[in-house]
Every structure is written in C-alpha cells, then in structure tokens.
C-alpha cells in the first residue's frame, strides 16, 4: 500500500505523461466497446496510428483540465468517466442497432428516456442502478485515497500546458482533415465511427451541425440567384402565385423508396442461382431509368427521403447529421407536398416501420403531409427472419391512400424489408435464391439472406405495378433503392466503382416516353415534375432552370441556408409554410360503442391494429387486441369513467402517436 501511494505521488508530479497514458488506455477501451472486440481495437491502433493519435489527443485535451486541480489524479479520473460513459453507451447500443451513439440521441430528455427503454431491459436497468451506486462509492473512495499536490497549483503553468495540449489536439485533427485521414462527411455513421474513431466521430457530430452561413449572405445575394424572371419582378417566391403547370390532367405521383435495394450482381465475386431482381431489371430496360446518387451508404434512409422531398443536399449539413433529428423538428421546410398542395394535390406518407423512428411522426407535419400511415396503423403484417416488416402489405396501403381523396395524390412510400443487420450464418433453410459463389461463408450467408429479401421486394414491385396498371386514374411511380446494403462493400468490390449509386425507374400507367439520365436524389423530384409539365415550388424552379450553371451547388446551398437557418429572403422575409394538421393513418380510427359482457368491457369500432390500446385521460390501459373491430379491456376501471375511454395507437417505446376523438 505504501509503495502504491509513492507511485501515485510520482504520477501526480508527472501529470502530463500520466494524461497521455490514460488517454491511450481510454481510447483503446472505447474503441473495443465500439467494435465489440479488443483485438479489433488493437488492429485499428496499429493499422491507423495517425487516426488513433488524433482520437487520443482529443481525449487527452479533455482530461488535461485536471491540471487545474490539486487532486489531479482524481480530477483526471472524473473527466475520463465522461468518455468511458460515452464508450459504454455506444457499445450497448451497437448490440441493438446499426447506428452508433451520437449527440443527437441526447438532444432532449424524452429522447434520452427513449434510449433507456429501447436499449436496456428491466434487468439491465437494475444492474445499471447497482453499478451507479458502486460508482458513487468508488468516487468517494477515490477522492479520499488519491494524493494531492503539496504546493498550490501554478495556474499560469497549468494553463500554458492545457493550451499546448489542446493546440496539439486541434492541430492534429485539422491536419488529419486536410490530408484526408479524417473524414468531414459521414454518409454512414457506423462506418464513420469505424474509420475515424469513436472520440473524433462523436465530437464532430456535436460541434458541426446545420448549414454554414454563405459568405456575403444578404437579401441581395439570395434574390440575385434567380436571373430568368421565374419569380416575377420582385424575385421573391410566393407559393401558388409564382407556380406554373402545363399539364391539363394531373397524375397521381407515387415515390417508392426501397430499403437497401440495389442490383446484387454488381458486386464482384458473388454469384447467384438466378437473378434476384428480374422484374425491376425488366423495368430498367423498358422505362425511364438511370443511376441515382444518394448521400448514404448502408444506412441513412431518412437523409435520402429528405433530399427527394426537399431538393436540398444532405451534404450541406454536419457530418452524420439527420435534419429529421435537428432543424426539421422545429421548423417547416418547402417540400414537394407543400408545392403540389397549391395545385390541389393531397399528400400521404407511408412507412411499414415505427412511426416515431427518425421523428417522422413530427417531421412529416413540417414537410406538408396530410396523412402518415406507419406500421402502427397496418394490419396483416408479416415479418422477415430479422423481424422487419415485409413490403407486400404496402400495395394495400398505397391503394387506400389513392382511394382516400377525389383529387390527385402525392404518395411517398418508404419500405423496410431489405434492412440489415445481415446474418453471418445460415438463416433461411430453403431459399429461393442461393449464393453459388462467395469469398467466405460469412459473406455467402449475408448476401444470400439479402438476395432473398430483395427477391421478395422485386415480386412486390411487380404486383404493385400490375394493380396500378388497371387503376382508373393516371399514375406515375418512381422507384429506387435508398442506399447500398450494410454488407461492408468497398468501391473495389463494385462493378460501378461507386458506393453512392443506386438505380431508379419511372413507371406509369399512361405510357411516358423513355428518357434515361443519371440524377442525384435531391434532383429527382424536380426532374420528374419537369417531365409532367409542372414547375411548382421555388426549389423545383431552381433545379429545373439552373442545374447546368457554374454556381449551381453553391447557390443551392445558399438557398438551403436561407430557407432553414437564415432570414427567408427568398420568401420576402417570412417563412410561408405552416405545419399541417397531419392525421396518423389514412383510415380514420373510430369507436362505435363500448359494451360490457360479464365483468369485462369491450370497445367496438373500426381500423384497430395490434398497436391499438384503450386509454383513459392519457393513461394507457391493459388491452387485448381481438381484431380490427374489437378491443378488450384487461383491467378494472371506475364505471363512471367508461364513457371517457378512447383508443390510442402506441408504438413499442410507449409513445402515443394518436388518440381517437
């Protein structure tokens, strides 16, 4: 014990060396947790020493603040616990989802609570509570046992040391960015954390958010972007007033964003027993098609739909940022639904996954949608072996949306069946598609599972177009994969040589002429509307008229900043868009009657699902789902309160999405 105290005193006196050693150890620990492997963390350190050094210096810069205290070891340990907490949380979350822990997960208290309930079981929460108690006890013991400097802190010397350490950290990170060692754009957070380290990636998602203010930003600058008179003499866009349409018959417009859907035969060294996407491939040849440049790889569905709906590039935002989790939770944004609303269109969003995922139940109101039908409002849901909803049920939901209005409809449908994580062992025992050649068994089973999911998605696409072919209104359907699957593909493995390209098809039931071209996700809506003779919306006009100009992307970013973070100069100084009174579910949920049979109460009504729960004054009661027209109450209530009972749609994290009137 005496020797240990002497060692601690020596370390305390040589604190800078101790800080570096601690930073290395902490970095190894959080990388091990982030990779779920200590060996992988050591390999990362050896193979990418400069990246590891940048992460280590970032950690060291944080814990260097301990130089300001006499109990330096105690202070350094306390500051280290912050990074360890980040690492532990990230490791736990990565055992349950593909996206690593980032600052936006803790943007609000409610989101933090959601993380706790979503990623920790009751047993785990109890263990966390016990661990927290032990942690507090350890802090007390650490405070009592660690030595403190005999003399007063030399604040000048300590401040100089801290500034030097921070300077080295910032210098190494800046240099790493300029040399391309560290990424500044994260198309996939999981890959970013893997390639750039946990500490750097976590920090960059915190300090770099939103769209940077353009150099020389002013009213004159923004209003000078449009030079062709598209916005009238004032060069200010007024919804409806400055819109044009050369189409007499307005077709229904359906976007179908297919989860991780790409042509699997573009991957080298992987072969299949038969073509996994014969129907989509046929449409590529017969219909307008091309490559679609997307901002994501392996994950990031929300950013692809954001680009397609708004015409804004996700690359303008911070690394790994999802506008759905940041600016769009508090502001409206011009979008295709808002633009087409001026022409009499109704707009519907459909997604066979959780409604609260990526805040869609809140964000879609700020994007102009009239209805949003998510998994909680769907019946007859069939799941994949990895527990994702299959896509075949989307046909019924698309038809419901089309039939819900008399006028034209804009429907944005987001599928989920092709989602990862993909298995590294055999999951499907009797596959329709077999992988006949692969570099390893792990890849064979991963690609075989994936191929069978998109094979079923391809059948769904065929069935959907067959149904829409005979629909008594004009329909144009745009289909595309949102990004490559999370199968750790590299550019060298792809015949296209590009990780950011999927393919799209424009199908219609009224015979559109075939026109092939490659576009970006943020351009696809404007291109489609142009073919339909529609020029509605400021962003639509910009893309249609200035895509070939030298300052195209620069001015697009300036307009995006003005719309979301600036002073709305392009709209005359005021955001013209108000959140919509969006209804959850295209089919209205109704209560017809409440009956008592024996000692139990039953609610009879319409359009109930397995997520329907009886509620009373906002409190969810124990409910048994008996079918789409009847629910049973499985607890006692005061007979006086029975008439006040309602039905709420409750997602798995206990968030109430809607409640009957």
d(C-alpha 523, C-alpha 520), whole Å: 5
pLDDT digit string, tens, across residues 344-367: 999 999 999 999 999 999 999 999
Mean pLDDT over all residues of the chain?
A: 90
Question: Helices (H) and strands (E) in the chain — how many of each?
Answer: 20, 21
Residue 18 or residue 510, greater confidence: 510
d(C-alpha 317, C-alpha 561), whole Å: 10
pLDDT for position 75: 82
- What the block records as the tokens of 187 is 């198309």
pLDDT band at 497 (very low <50, low <70, confident <90, very high): confident
DSSP calls for 69-102: SSSHHHHHHHHHHHHHHHHHHHHHHHTT-SSPP-
Asked if 393 and 382 touch (Cβ cutoff 8 Å), the reply is yes
Q: Does the pLDDT at position 146 exceed 80?
A: no
Chain centroid to CA 588: how far? 28
Q: Does the pLDDT at position 117 exceed 70?
A: no
pLDDT for position 611: 97
- What the block records as the tokens of 489 is 């593909």
Q: How large is the C-alpha radius of gyration of the chain?
A: 28
d(C-alpha 420, C-alpha 484), whole Å: 11
d(C-alpha 327, C-alpha 333), whole Å: 9
d(C-alpha 388, C-alpha 377), whole Å: 15
Name which of 100, 98, 88 is nearest 124 in CA terms.
88
- What the block records as the tokens of 506 is 């424009």
Tell me the mean pLDDT in the region 86-105. 79
Q: Does the pLDDT at position 119 exceed 60?
A: no
pLDDT band at 62 (very low <50, low <70, confident <90, very high): very high
pLDDT for position 4: 55
CA atoms within 13 A on the CB side of 267: 25
Handedness of CA 314, 320, 324, 329 (dihedral sign): negative
d(C-alpha 186, C-alpha 181), whole Å: 13
pLDDT digit string, tens, across residues 406-417: 999 999 999 999
Asked if 128 and 120 touch (Cβ cutoff 8 Å), the reply is yes
pLDDT digit string, tens, across residues 524-559: 999 999 999 999 999 999 999 999 999 999 999 999
- What the block records as the tokens of 333 is 């944004």
pLDDT for position 529: 95
pLDDT band at 115 (very low <50, low <70, confident <90, very high): very low
């Amino acid at each position: 014990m005496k020797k240990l105290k002497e060692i601690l005193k020596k370390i305390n006196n040589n604190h800078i060396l101790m800080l570096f050693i601690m930073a290395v150890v902490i970095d190894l620990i959080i990388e091990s947790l982030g990779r779920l492997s200590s060996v992988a963390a050591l390999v990362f350190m050896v193979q990418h020493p400069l990246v590891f050094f940048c992460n280590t210096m970032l950690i060291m810069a944080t814990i260097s603040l301990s130089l300001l205290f006499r109990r330096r070891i105690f202070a350094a340990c306390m500051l280290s616990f912050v990074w360890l907490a980040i690492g532990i949380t990230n490791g736990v979350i990565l055992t349950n989802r593909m996206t690593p822990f980032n600052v936006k997960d803790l943007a609000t208290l409610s989101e933090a609570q959601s993380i706790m309930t979503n990623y920790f079981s009751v047993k785990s929460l109890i263990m966390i509570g016990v661990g927290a108690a032990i942690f507090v006890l350890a802090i007390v013991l650490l405070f009592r046992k660690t030595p403190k400097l005999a003399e007063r802190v030399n604040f000048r010397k300590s401040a100089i040391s801290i500034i030097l350490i921070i300077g080295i950290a910032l210098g190494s990170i800046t240099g790493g960015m300029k040399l391309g060692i560290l990424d500044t754009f994260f198309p996939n957070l999981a890959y970013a954390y893997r390639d750039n380290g946990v500490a750097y990636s976590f920090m960059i998602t915190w300090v770099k958010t939103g769209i940077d203010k353009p150099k020389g930003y002013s009213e004159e600058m923004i209003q000078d972007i449009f030079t062709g008179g598209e916005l009238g003499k004032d060069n200010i866009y007024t919804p409806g007033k400055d819109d044009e349409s050369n189409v007499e018959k307005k077709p229904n417009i359906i976007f179908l964003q297919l989860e991780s859907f790409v042509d699997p035969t573009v991957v080298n060294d992987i072969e299949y027993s038969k073509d996994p996407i014969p129907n989509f491939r046929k449409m590529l040849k017969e219909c307008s098609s091309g490559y679609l440049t997307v901002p994501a790889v392996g994950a990031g569905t929300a950013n692809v739909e954001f680009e397609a709906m708004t015409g804004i590039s996700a690359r303008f935002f911070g690394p790994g940022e999802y506008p759905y989790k940041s600016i769009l939770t508090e502001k409206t944004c011009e979008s295709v639904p808002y633009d087409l609303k001026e022409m009499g269109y109704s707009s519907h969003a459909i997604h066979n996954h959780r409604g609260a995922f990526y805040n869609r139940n809140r964000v879609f109101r700020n994007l102009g949608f009239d209805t949003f039908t998510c998994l909680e409002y769907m019946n007859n849901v069939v799941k994949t072996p990895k527990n994702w909803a299959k896509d075949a049920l989307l046909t019924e939901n698309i038809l419901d949306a089309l039939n819900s209005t008399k006028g034209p409809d804009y429907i944005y449908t987001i599928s989920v069946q092709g989602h990862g994580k993909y298995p590294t062992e055999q999951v499907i025992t009797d596959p329709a598609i077999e992988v006949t050649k692969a570099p390893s068994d792990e890849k064979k089973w991963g690609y075989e599972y994936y191929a069978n999911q998109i094979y079923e998605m391809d059948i769904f696409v065929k069935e959907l177009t067959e149904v829409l072919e005979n629909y008594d209104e004009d329909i144009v359907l745009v289909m595309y994969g949102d990004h490559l699957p999370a199968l750790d593909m590299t550019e060298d493995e792809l015949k296209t040589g590009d990780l950011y390209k999927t393919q799209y098809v424009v199908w219609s039931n009224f015979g559109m002429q075939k026109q092939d071209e490659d576009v970006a996700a943020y351009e696809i809506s404007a291109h489609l509307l142009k073919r339909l003779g529609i020029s509605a919306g400021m962003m639509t006009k910009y893309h249609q008229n200035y895509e070939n100009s030298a300052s195209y992307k620069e001015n697009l970013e300036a307009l995006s900043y003005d719309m979301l973070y600036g002073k709305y100069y392009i709209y005359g100084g005021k955001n013209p868009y108000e959140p919509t009174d969006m209804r959850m579910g295209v089919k209205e949920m109704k209560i017809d009657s409440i009956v008592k049979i024996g000692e139990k109460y039953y609610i009879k009504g319409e359009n109930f699902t397995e997520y329907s729960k009886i509620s009373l004054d906002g409190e969810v009661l124990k409910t048994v789902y008996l079918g789409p027209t009847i629910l049973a109450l499985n607890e006692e209530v005061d007979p006086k309160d029975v008439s006040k009972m309602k039905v709420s749609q409750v997602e798995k994290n206990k968030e109430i999405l809607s409640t009957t009137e």
